[in-house]
Amino acid sequence: MKAAVVGGGVIGGGWAARFLLNGWDVAVFDPDPEAARKIGEVLAQARAALPRLYDVALPPEGRLDYAGSLAEAVADADWVQESVPERLNLKHRVLAEIGAAAPADAVVGSSTSGFRPSELTAKGDRAIVAHPFNPVYLLPLVELVGDAETCASAAQTLRGIGMYPLHVKREIDAHIADRLLEAVWREALWLVKDGIATTEEIDEAIRMGFGLRWAQMGLFETYRIAGGEAGMRHFLAQFGPALQWPWTKLMDVPDLDDALIDQIAAQSDAQSGALGIRDLERKRDANLVAILRALKVEDAGAGAVLRAHEAGMTRG
Amino acid sequence: MKAAVVGGGVIGGGWAARFLLNGWDVAVFDPDPEAARKIGEVLAQARAALPRLYDVALPPEGRLDYAGSLAEAVADADWVQESVPERLNLKHRVLAEIGAAAPADAVVGSSTSGFRPSELTAKGDRAIVAHPFNPVYLLPLVELVGDAETCASAAQTLRGIGMYPLHVKREIDAHIADRLLEAVWREALWLVKDGIATTEEIDEAIRMGFGLRWAQMGLFETYRIAGGEAGMRHFLAQFGPALQWPWTKLMDVPDLDDALIDQIAAQSDAQSGALGIRDLERKRDANLVAILRALKVEDAGAGAVLRAHEAGMTRG
CA distance readout (Å), B101 to A125, A137, A297, B123, B239: 74, 58, 49, 16, 54
Domain co-membership, B163 together with B185: no
Structural domain contains residue B47: yes
Interface contact flag, B283 A267, Cβ < 8 Å:
no
Domain co-membership, A182 together with A161: no
What are the tens digits of pLDDT across the range B108-124? 999 999 899 999 999 99
Structural domain contains residue A285: no
CATH of the domain at B218: 1.10.1040.10
Select the residue of A227, A239, A261 nearest B236 (Cβ to Cβ): A261
Distance CA A205, CA A185 (A): 14
Domain co-membership, A212 together with A85: no
Q: How confident is the model at residue B194 (pLDDT cuts 50, 70, 90)?
A: confident
Contacts across the A-B interface (CB distance below 8 Å): 400
Domain co-membership, A152 together with A126: yes
Largest CA distance in chain B: 62
Structural domain contains residue B309: no
Domain co-membership, B162 together with B51: yes
Structural domain contains residue A282: no
Q: How confident is the model at residue B249 (pLDDT cuts 50, 70, 90)?
A: very low
Domain co-membership, A17 together with A88: yes
Task: Average the pLDDT over each of A222-231, B34-43, B169-178 and give the range with the smallest value.
Answer: A222-231
Domain co-membership, B183 together with B162: no
Per-residue model confidence as pLDDT tens for chain A (316 residues): 999 999 999 999 999 999 999 999 999 999 999 999 999 999 999 999 999 999 999 999 999 999 999 999 999 999 999 999 989 999 999 999 999 999 999 999 999 998 999 999 999 999 999 999 999 999 999 999 999 999 999 999 999 999 999 999 999 988 999 989 988 888 888 888 888 999 999 999 999 999 999 999 999 999 888 877 677 777 777 666 555 555 444 555 667 677 877 888 888 888 888 888 888 889 999 999 999 999 999 999 999 999 999 998 877 5
Domain co-membership, B216 together with B124: no
Structural domain contains residue B31: yes
Distance CA B58, CA B50 (A): 9
Dihedral over alpha carbons B231, B235, B238, B240 (to 10 degrees): -140
CA closest to B231 among chain A residues: A277
Residue A64, beta-bridge partner list: A26
Interface contact flag, B210 A214, Cβ < 8 Å:
yes
Domain co-membership, B22 together with B151: yes
Q: A285 CB near a chain B CB, below 8 Å?
A: no
> Is beta strand B64-66 parallel, antiparallel or unpaired with respect to A25-29?
unpaired
Select the residue of B176, B252, B288 nearest A216 (Cβ to Cβ): B288
Structural domain contains residue A298: no
Helix, coil or strand: residue B82: strand
Residue range of the domain that includes B244: 177-274
Interface contact flag, B205 A181, Cβ < 8 Å:
no
Q: How many domains does chain B have?
A: 2
Structural domain contains residue B306: no
ipTM (interface predicted TM): 0.93
What are the tens digits of pLDDT across the range B252-274? 566 767 787 788 888 888 888 88
Domain co-membership, B147 together with B255: no
CA distance readout (Å), A15 to A83, A134, A271, A282, A310: 9, 10, 29, 18, 19
Domain co-membership, A16 together with A157: yes
Structural domain contains residue A259: yes
CATH of the domain at A108: 3.40.50.720
Domain co-membership, B154 together with B191: no
**Cα–chain center distance at A280:** 18
CA closest to A138 among chain B residues: B209
Buried b (16+ CB within 10 A) or exposed e, B277-300: beebbbbbbbbbbbbbbbbbebeb
What are the tens digits of pLDDT across the range B49-94? 999 999 999 999 999 999 999 999 999 999 999 999 989 999 999 9
